[in-house]
Amino acid sequence: MFLFLLFSCILSLTGFWLFLSLYKFVEKKGEFMNEKALRILEYHKIIEQLENCATSPLGKALCKKLTPVSDLGEICRLQMETSDALARIYAKGSISFSGLYDIGPSLLRLKVGSSLGAGELLQISKQLDVALRVKSYSRRENDDLSKDCLDDMFAEIEPLTPLNNEIKRCIISEEEIADDASPALKSIRRSIRLTNDRIHQQLNSMVNSQNVGSKLQDNLVTMRNGRYCLPVKAEYRSQVEGMIHDQSSTGSTLFIEPMAVVRLNNELSSLAAKEKDEIEKILAALSEMAAQSQEQLANNLSVLSSLDFIFAKAQLSKNYNGSEPVFNENGYIHIKKGRHPLLDKKKVVPIDIIMGKDYKLLIVTGPNTGGKTVSLKTVGLFTLMGQSGLHIPAFDKSELAVFDDVFADIGDEQSIEQSLSTFSSHMTNIVHILNESNYKSLVLLDELCAGTDPTEGAALAIAILKNFLIRQVTTMATTHYSELKVFALSTKGACNACCEFDIATLSPTYRLLIGIPGKSNAFAISSKLGLPEFIINDAKKNIDAADQNFEDLIANLETSRSTIEKEQAEIEAYKKEITELKAQLEVKHDNIAKQKEQILRRANEQASKILQDAKDFADQTIRDMNKMAAGAASNKELEKQRTAVREKLDKVNKHLSSAPKKKSGQLRPQDLKPGDAVKVLSLNVNGIVASAPNAKGDLTVQMGILKSHVNIKDLELIDEEVIKTPMLKKTGAGKIKMSKSAQVSISINLIGKTVDEAMPELDKYLDDAYLAHLPQVTIIHGRGTGALKNAVHQKLRKSGHVKSFRLGEFGEGGYGVTVVDFK
């Protein structure tokens, strides 16, 4: 037994080693990132947030071990995994890996042929539930969708459904095996129930009997040492035959197993032993079945743990509203609207940072609590996160450089135990950074050389920064020294930056401005805090004139920049407003065009119906009159028919002319507007008003292809364009043909119709125009694909009424119309 326990412990330790092997895909490829920089930049807080996004203990363990890497290929792989997982989260939602446990020790026990307990087998079942859930999540609804880098990992997952179903069928919980786990177990448990019933029946009869019931302490059946007993009063121990198994603490009650149930209790104990043996057989069979799939189970454990870790990174990116940065090995950094990930994203002010291309050294100045240190930490933390495969909370296509190491000197490192002052502590750290850094390093320095004599401190800071610049070390430093501002202005490869300060409100805006040195605004802040004005004025006298002029120059630059930014913002606002108004105007224009087209279509349909009814009535009347003439009908009947025709035509004309016409000379300039239909009385021709009347009443009227200037007195307002011209020829058809000629337009518009729709309408129009004796008409078919035009021309060639036809000329509509001459 001792050897078995020792062997189990060894297996458990070996399982722990197997679990540790799961981390190999995030192993560092070399020494990277000193622990001090990770601590100063609060990288561990990002890891804590990442752990909260994982849903399994194994995933959380992988998150906790995550550190940055310096290999560009490895960084790109990690970033791609995060991006692909994020895309799946946005498409399908998050996936939970809850239920994934470390079954490594159990797998090793299976490897050596040991049987697993019910709890271990249930953990395997839960892992297979997770595998099935993740496998289902990975399936794509559309096979045409492009694959991503996670597809191969999902493909490796094996849900092992037969094994999982068998475990669930046999094991209900860690303490209970199902009756149906095997026929033998079911039979044994049935026998146990029957034996229990017989024992209870026997004991209950004894409890309820007068002979035994009066001798019991309580009228109930109890159990001691796995045997059913009765609680007998001590004074009646000799009157109840049986075996004593226990007594109460006071000795007043004895728990006696009556002789009548001893055999049954023995049988029950035997059945319990058989049940235990059968359960061990069932667990052994399940363990053997699991052992056959131990390689798949081990692979599932590794892949599911990795996927939980990857989806935790993606979930963190979603929480940050992050994006994948673009990496380079040239030391170039371009952060677009970056937000420090540990600050409230609703309150933090996004910053833009560019460095490493035209300049390797960025010196940030500005007032205290203005955001200099936050900007410094943002650059460092983004670098750590990006090289760990995490997205950064910044705009898309932000760029980061790959660094072999990051060094930071931020905060107060004063040490009483080591007898180091603030300055000494910082200088000790800076000496270490100077010795360890190179062109592949990122150096972040906060308040460089502060805490000592300003003159010496500034000189020392310039020398240190110059050393970094000569060695091409990408460096970002904050300072209050004016000498460093001048150094950045006069040194190639260095650039100033400042944290913006609102002079009006005397408060920082936390915006980082590249290329502009900042002011500390000590006098303004002190005045706001209540320092007397005479002290501030006296302090200003102690400043060197050159320094004062330099600070004034910076202030003027800041004012000019602020003004230009406001004007640019106003211009952008105007541009946006103009764009919106243009879009609204286009929408309104399109709506008007659609409404106009609908109105014209309905009007044309209604007019066509009216004209068709009139034509049908006229044709029927002509046929009736011809029959009457052939039958020598009386003049009275003929006159009756003519009267009916006149009444029908009057009704049609009245329907077509719903508004009363103004007589010549009654029109006023406000009565006419462009687009109105009018009749030129002197020419007896209809036209369309092309321009509004001037002060004298003169205006332009479009008559067909001609425009003419006429006076308002020579016009009559009509409802729509109808043909009443001198060109109409007189015929012997009488009033019927004159009525038709008065209602046939000189043009027909077929645009928007198919060939099948247009041809019947064109056929009817040609007949009506020919009967109306129109010498020339225009067919408007548009350009389009040319199908409608070709069909029109084919129709005209076959028509017996057409003398000739041609495409329109300039001013007539060009190739979009066809001009037809009748015979």
Q: What is the pLDDT of residue 124?
A: 93
Classify 102 as helix, strand or coil: coil
Question: Contacts from 254-260 at CB under 8 Å and sequence distance 24+?
Answer: 255/222, 255/224, 255/229, 255/230, 255/231, 256/229, 256/230, 256/232, 257/224, 257/227, 257/228, 257/229, 257/230, 258/202, 258/203, 258/206, 258/230, 260/202, 260/206
CA separation, residue 529 to residues 175, 289, 311, 506, 507 (Å) = 71, 78, 50, 10, 12
Concatenated DSSP letters of 209-274: SHHHHTTBSSSS-EEETTEEEEEEEGGGGGGS-EEEEEE-TTSSEEEEEEGGGHHHHHHHHHHHHH
More reliable by pLDDT, 317 or 570: 317
Task: Please write the tens of the pLDDT for every residue from 19-60.
Answer: 433 333 334 344 455 788 899 999 999 999 999 999 999 999
At 535, is the pLDDT very low, low, confident or very high (cuts 50, 70, 90)? confident
Q: What is the pLDDT of residue 325?
A: 95
Residue 479: closest CA among 468, 467, 490, 488: 488
Contact 312, 63 (CB under 8 A): yes
- How many other C-beta atoms are found inside a 10 Å radius of the C-beta of residue 153? 18
At 475, is the pLDDT very low, low, confident or very high (cuts 50, 70, 90)? very high
Cα torsion 301, 302, 303, 305: sign: positive
Residue 305 has pLDDT above 90, yes or no: yes
Residue 75 has pLDDT above 70, yes or no: yes
In the block, residue with structure tokens 């990002």:
46
> pTM, whole model, 2 decimals?
0.61
Q: What is the pLDDT of residue 509?
A: 67
Non-local (6+) Cβ contacts of 178 within 8 A are 169, 170, 171, 172
At 268, is the pLDDT very low, low, confident or very high (cuts 50, 70, 90)? confident
Concatenated DSSP letters of 695-738: TTSEEEEEETTEEEEEEGGGEEE-SS-----TTPPP-TTTHHHH
Quote the CA–CA distance of 55 and 381 in Å, as a whole number. Answer: 25
Residue 450 has pLDDT above 60, yes or no: yes
Cα torsion 159, 161, 162, 167: sign: positive
Task: Please write the tens of the pLDDT for every residue from 730-779.
Answer: 444 434 444 444 467 888 888 888 888 888 888 888 888 887 778 888 88
Backbone φ, ψ for residue 225 (5° rounding):
55, 35
Quote the CA–CA distance of 400 and 541 in Å, as a whole number. Answer: 46
Which whole number is the average pLDDT over 386-398?
Answer: 94
Burial class (CB in 10 A: 0-12, 13-18, 19+), 614: buried
| Run of H or E residues at 475 | strand 474-478
Non-local (6+) Cβ contacts of 680 within 8 A are 686, 687, 701, 703, 708, 710, 714, 715
Q: How large a percentage of the chain has pLDDT more than 90?
A: 31
Quote the CA–CA distance of 164 and 122 in Å, as a whole number. Answer: 9
Give the number of C-alpha atoms closer than 13 A to the C-alpha of residue 617, restricted to the C-beta side.
Answer: 21
Residue 400 has pLDDT above 90, yes or no: yes
Residue 410: closest CA among 383, 441, 382, 372: 372
CA separation, residue 364 to residues 285, 353, 399, 442 (Å) = 71, 11, 20, 16
Classify 603 as helix, strand or coil: helix
Task: Please write the tens of the pLDDT for every residue from 180-237.
Answer: 999 999 999 899 899 888 888 888 888 878 777 777 878 888 888 888 889 988 888 7
Quote the CA–CA distance of 755 and 806 in Å, as a whole number. Answer: 19
Non-local (6+) Cβ contacts of 488 within 8 A are 361, 363, 494, 495, 496, 517
Residue 632 has pLDDT above 60, yes or no: no
Bridge partners of 678, per DSSP, are 687, 717
Concatenated DSSP letters of 352-376: EEEESSS-SEEEEE--TTSSHHHHH
Q: What is the pLDDT of residue 390?
A: 95
Pairing of strands 405-409, 441-445: parallel
